[in-house]
Amino acid sequence: MIDNLSAENGEALIYDMAGRKVGQEKFFSETITMFGDYPTGAYVVRAVSNKETVTKRIIVQ
């Protein structure tokens, strides 16, 4: 989960550590929950809304 500080609807783009886009999720609240079936590893999630863009590194275990 990733906190979306602006509480805006938007889209989360998921990238592997090589920079390849591996997923895309819509979000509609203050918290972004990734529902995709992502393999174990590290990812960069870029959450984009009308007000801001937040980039976080996450680890899927």
CATH number for position 30: 2.60.40
Q: Which residues contact 41 (CB under 8 A, 6 or more apart)?
A: 16, 17, 59, 60
What is the total count of domains within the chain?
A: 1
Confidence class of residue 3 from pLDDT cuts 50, 70 and 90?
low
> Is 80 exceeded by the pLDDT of residue 59?
yes
Give the structural domain span for 30: 2-60
pLDDT in tens, 13-44: 999 999 999 999 888 766 666 667 889 999 99
Q: How many CA atoms lie within 13 A of 26 on its CB side?
A: 2
